[in-house]
Amino acid sequence: MTAWELELVPRSALLIGAAWDPGTGAHLASAALPAPGGGRAALLPGSSLRGVLRDALTRFAEARSGQPCSRPARCMCPACRLFGSAEFPGKLRVASAQAPARWLTSASVAIDRQTRTAWRAGGALWTERKAVASFTVRVEATQELADDELELLESFWAWLAAVGVSLGQRRSAGAGSFELRARRADRSRPELRAVAAGEVEPRRYALRIRLLEPAHVVGPRQRDFYRDALGVIPGSTIRGAIGQALALTGRGDLAQELFRSERPMLVGPAFAVEAGRPVGAAVPWLSLRRCRGAGHTVDLLPALVAAALKEEPGPTTCPRCGAPLEHDRPTPPTRLVLGHTAIDPRTRRAAQGQLHYHVALAPGITFEAQLVARPNLIEIVAQLGEVLVGGRRARGMGRATLEVHEVPVPSLEERMARLAAAVEEQGVDGADRVAVLGLVSDAAAAPSLAEVLRRRGLEPVGGELRTVERGGWDELNGAPRALREVLEAGSWVAVRCSTPGSLAALGELERWGLADPEEICPLVVEVRGGEEVVEVKTTEEEGATRGAERDRLVREVRELCRRHAEELPQAAQLHNLLRYAQQTPSVEEVALFFEYQASRREFRDQAPFLGDLAARARSQYAGDPRGLREFLAVVVRAAQVERQARRREGG
């Protein structure tokens, strides 16, 4: 497909996606993300540049052909054909971009129109933090362009190179001015080679996905105003991203070979992985436990299998310190709350009442999914290099890089022998014919998983299964998929090989998996064994410092309340806000709630206080909603004490 790279060279500082910055105290700070080498990188949202380009193309095409845009009615002007409308999608995608920046902080003040001096009565003095950065933005066609559309765009880029573009806020005051240079950057076409000798059997691979842009991967609606981002990228989303990437290169036929052939590629969900994590070890198994004492993380798989063979309940206390155990849930990936507004085509300004917010996965996160496929099919995926993940792809969201790594798999007999040895250490014999099947994909097992296993001579003896609802978007039919209840990846089941051919059936199930009739959630399993079965990871330092950290935060909360003691008695509703936040289950929703309240006029004096609470929720309590509730309880009590003290002082 046709694509261009737009180089934006700054003429003035940029203020875009601005919000209050708790780190610097600036009232308005241009959008930024953590840079790989430290510091902050400037962010240019693709949705903002897309809106500016559409507005400019509307005026350019009208001056060139005399055909005005007739929105909101059905319109077929060049701008609507290329950028889309409410009736049909557009043909162009505008990517987001990040770049190293030089940051400038300036102060501004409102002017009293009568005295023509600083408006002292209103107290309207604020600071702005702007970025000076050069961006490289990719614009690519998602459909074939007609000759007249291609010629129009080439002329349009030449016109913008002469006049430049202005982005973001304060444009009328000279901010956000850029020079623009465009060059062609078409994609190469991947090819499928024939299957070589010895490559008939599938192999297991790890697919590393690194987000270059915010990714809109969300779950079901939780409240009328809130839909949280998922902590994983579902396998169906990855399939759709690969299929669309092939279509963009003009090889949509290869998607049929990948996913609808006799032996298709099986794709599991992608989980966030930390830097340095070994390839192929991303699945959060349900056998992992975390103790409530020193914070040990223990894989109880051998003990749970031994308990299942003895028909007894599994252990409930930590084998290292004796503290109660709870399921260890992985830390959710970093989220971003992004705002955007619709543009009124008549006034070319923000439309009244059209400010929207949505939650997205932050750029820079690396996810890992497991694939099962023949080597020649995997080569197609490796040739892509980049894909678009999730929704809002045309608005600068979802771009990610792909890396494929083959996962070495020990022999089936070796893994079963290691498991048997670990179970025997628990005082249980006769585990040499027992294997543990771990689900590395969200599986729609129809009929039931137990029946599927028994048909292959595998008798279930125990396990841990959890279900989750998965939906999605059907790209081919242009309609949402209904929510389905499927077995969640990370579940596991122990089976006994009860027939002579059951061991061969076990290997066949691991190699080829089990296809889903709807081709969305296939059953992909891994026979667990080896080092991960007996691994015990301790976090004693974390447990030892937890109490000291909590005491430090309590002191900081008290000091924060003292600094705002003048405002706390005046905020009659602040206590209710904090109480409401304590009852909110999601850490990200708490942070979003505080940021929204800080933007309201009635809480203008408390905006720094609420903004600091939002920043602390994201930075110190991500993935720990219980700890956040305890912290907010301290905040509520400290605010009460300071408010009562001020009232007593006032008489």
Q: Helix H segments across 476-573?
A: 502-512, 531-534, 540-563
Question: All domains of the chain, ordered by start, with CATH?
Answer: 3-184 (3.30.70), 203-279+332-406 (3.30.70), 288-313+411-473+484-537 (3.30.70), 540-649 (no CATH)
Three-class SS of 322-376:
CCEEEECCCCCCCEEEEEEEEEECCCCEEEEEEEEEEEEECCCCEEEEEEEECHH
User: Worst-scoring range by mean pLDDT, 70-74, 283-287, 518-522, 560-564?
Assistant: 560-564
Q: Which residues pair with 479 in a beta bridge?
A: 474
Give the separation between CA 569 and CA 561, rounded to whole angstroms.
11
Question: What confidence category does residue 542 fall into, taking pLDDT thresholds of 50, 70 and 90?
Answer: very low
Higher pLDDT, 265 or 642: 265
pLDDT tens, position by position, 543-570: 444 455 555 655 666 666 666 555 554 5
Condensed to tens digits (0 to 9), the pLDDT of residues 331-343 reads 788 887 776 777 7
Q: What is the dihedral of CA 515, 520, 522, 524, to 10 degrees?
A: 140
Q: How far apart are CA 353 and CA 342, in angstroms?
A: 9
Percent share of the chain, pLDDT over 70: 78
Q: Which residues are within 8 A (CB) of 204 and not within 5 positions of it... i.e. 6 or more apart?
A: 280, 370, 371, 372, 406, 407, 409, 526
Q: Which two tokens stand for residue 373?
A: 């496929």
pTM value is: 0.71
Is the confidence at residue 609, as pLDDT, over 60? yes
Give the tens place of pLDDT for each residue, 411-446.
888 888 888 888 888 888 878 888 998 888 888 765
Task: Check whether 592 has a pLDDT greater than 80.
Answer: no
Higher pLDDT pick, 615 / 406: 406
Give residue 532's pLDDT band: very low, low, confident or very high (50, 70, 90).
Answer: very low
Strands 28-29 and 125-132: parallel
Q: What is the DSSP code string of 618-632? A: HHH-TT-HHHHHHHH
**Nearest Cα residue to 171 out of 59, 69, 48:** 48
Contacts 24+ apart (CB under 8 A), 549-558: 550/630, 550/631, 553/616, 553/620, 553/631, 553/634, 554/634, 554/638, 557/631, 557/634, 557/635, 557/638, 558/638
**Token pair of 473 as six digits:** 């978007």
CA dihedral 154, 158, 159, 164 (to 10 degrees): 120
**pLDDT confidence of residue 270:** 92
